[in-house]
Amino acid sequence: MTPSQAVELCGTLKELVVSDSVDVVYCVPAIDIVPVVEAVKGTNVAVGAENMYFEAKGAYTGEISAEMLVDAGVKYVIIGHSERRDYFKEDDVLLNKKVKKALEAGLVPILCCGETLEQREMGVTMDWIRLQIKSDLTGVTADQVKGMVIAYEPIWAIGTGKTATTQQAEEVCKGIRDCIAEIYDTDTAEAVRIQYGGSVNAANAAELFAQPDIDGGLVGGASLKADFGKIVNYK
């Protein structure tokens, strides 16, 4: 959305996303950050960015640093979204640098992982996701991971209208939690928030979020309309 459209949407959603039990974050395009931060002041909504660069300063024309985001009022940042990995060829070495920089700056990383349809059909879903998680968290401490969000987004379910079954989503989110326990410990695995993202909507949110290892949703298209309020208040 354009800045003016984003601000208008914030006004529409303002009363609909009020919740004492759910953390709500709008992750918006860079050009929308400043007006949206202003638009959500006094509400229960935090603001996140969709991307960032790992260098604090330098000749990186067009990139946005973690320090810039913090100064603008951003609290969260999405790292490793499948579209960044695919369209912009961001690999795990780069994403690891971004995760560590975001944490250093005091931002909460929302680290995305997920498989293609071909990888799922080949039966390597968890192998692939475990590789992503282990690579992206290299050098990250247990205490840092406890404050992070990890979002499982099956690439074949993003913007397609297809949704992983509740069983499929829970199975992978549990696998991610088990992977964190192996890398760190059980306490860290229980503390980290694990979300499901992939055509989450008002109709399927309650069933997905009722699963023991799904702590919330990384919501795409459904966040751009009033129905997002129903997702936030899904119970």
Q: What is the pLDDT of residues 73-132, one digit of tens each?
A: 999 999 999 999 999 999 999 999 999 999 999 999 999 999 999 999 999 999 999 999
Question: How many CB atoms within 10 Å of residue 15?
Answer: 9
CATH classification at residue 15: 3.20.20.70
For this structure, is 153 an active site residue? Answer: yes
Query: Three-state DSSP class for 165?
Result: coil
Q: What is the span of the domain harbouring residue 87?
A: 3-232
Catalytic residue among 50, 81, 115, 170: 81
In the chain, the number of structural domains is: 1
Catalytic residue among 50, 115, 153, 170: 153
Polymer length in residues for the chain: 235
- pTM to 2 decimals? 0.96
β-sheet with 149-152: strand ranges across: 24-28, 45-49, 76-79, 108-113, 149-152, 193-196, 216-217
Q: Which residues contact 5 (CB under 8 A, 6 or more apart)?
A: none
Query: 199 falls in which pLDDT band (50, 70, 90)?
Result: confident
What pLDDT, on the 0 to 100 scale, is given for residue 163?
73
For this structure, is 55 an active site residue? Answer: no
What's the pLDDT tens digit per position in 141-192? 999 999 999 999 999 887 777 778 999 999 999 999 999 999 999 999 999 9
Token code pair at residue 129:
């996701």
